[in-house]
Amino acid sequence: MSAISLVSGANGHLGNNLVRLLLQKGLSVRASVRNTAHTAPFAGLDCELVKADITDKASLIRAMEGIDTFYAVGAAFKLWAKDPVREIYNVNLDGTRNMVEAAAAAGVRRIVYVSSVAALNYAQTPVSEASGYNTERRDMYYNSKNDGEKLAFELAAKSGIELVAVLPAAMIGGEAFAPLNVSYGVLRLILKKEIPVDTGITLNWVDVRDVAEGCYQAAVHGRNGTRYILSNENCLTITETTRLAQEYYPDLGIRIPRPVPKPLLYGIAALMEGTARLRGRAPLLTRKDIALFSGLRQDFDISRARAELGFNPRPAQEAVRDAFDYLLAHPELLA
């Protein structure tokens, strides 16, 4: 019987596109999700669908029975929560521990652990894997990716499991389902003309299909105990990305966000935070976003992934164009 690969978080953006890629390569795939009633992302896919939750180790052990390679994709991917320690940090740290310990209990041979460029040190650019871990501790998602990746390597080494970490940037493109992830959501806001001011925030856009290929190559060729950045070399500001949308779709009437003084930007963010607390949903912009990300260059050295994994992402502008086209072809995602 052929080896089976397990993808956790298989209904998420990366997880679902990874399942599709592995199936295209002729592999046997088991897809784990928290709710097996939501089957739309798996329509027409010849994969085994199982229920598992990263906060429930017993469910993970069951899902990993007979698994050779485990793609640890499932995580809480959000930058805002009412209780960020409980809803983001604890979920991701406990989830990491559960996934690696379950893999050890089930006899899994190899883990591809999906970390994030959030777990990198931005003291100097271009940022590389050798830059070390992020020293910024004001964001619970960033903290969870830093500490989670370290924990994954530590537990895997103790358990004798091979583990390779991949660190994707802002993933867009490929197949997508509602709700959109944070990165794709920015493109949605651009098309809906809901970004009125220039925040100075940059994103390193990468097509999710290229990241999925990088995950697969990490499983086949990645060196045990090694980190690989899966991104493009250079970032774009949200305003530069908006300018691309204006260029690609002149008939949509998209306007370039206007620059405002930094104190006013903080005031706008504070107002959005207050409104979000009342409504119980994430604000479009927070004061923390401005403090941490405005002006931060997300430029990366991806030479290791190129050399060892054959990683060759399509240019950011192409990835952005494809993602915009996808959203416009699926108006339900813009609603």
Composition of the chain by helix, strand, coil, percent to 5? 45, 15, 35
Task: Count Cβ neighbours within 10 Å for each residue of 16-29 and write b for 16 or more, e otherwise.
Answer: bbbbbbbbeeebbb
Q: Does the structure show a pLDDT above 90 at 1? A: no
Q: What is the DSSP letter of 294?
A: B
Assess if residue 333 is contained within a domain. no
- Whether 138 is in a domain gets the answer yes
Tell me the C-alpha to C-alpha distance, in Å, between residue 185 and each of 145, 159, 190, 201: 20, 38, 9, 14
Cβ–Cβ under 8 Å, residues 209 and 173: yes
40 domain-assigned: yes
Q: What is the pLDDT of residues 95-145, one digit of tens each?
A: 999 999 999 999 999 999 999 999 999 999 999 999 999 999 999 999 999
pTM above 0.85, yes or no: yes
Residue 12 has pLDDT above 70, yes or no: yes
| b/e burial code for range 177-193 (CB count within 10 A of at least 16 → b) | eeebbbbbebbbebbee
Name the domain count of the chain. 1
Q: What is the CATH number of the domain that holds 105?
A: 3.40.50.720
Q: Is residue 193 part of a domain?
A: no
User: What's the average model confidence in pLDDT over 191-219?
Assistant: 97
In a domain, 181, yes or no: no
pLDDT score, position 189 = 96
User: Beta partners for 228?
Assistant: 166
The answer to whether residue 198 scores a pLDDT higher than 80 is yes
Domain with 155, as residue range(s), is: 4-175+206-233+299-314
The verdict on residue 195 lying in a domain is: no
> Average per-residue pLDDT in the chain?
95
Distance CA 43, CA 35 (A): 15
Task: Give the pLDDT confidence score for residue 277 in this predicted structure.
Answer: 84
| pLDDT value, residue 107 | 96
What are the pLDDT digits (tens) for 18-44?
Answer: 999 999 999 999 999 999 998 999 999
Does the residue 165 lie in any domain?
yes
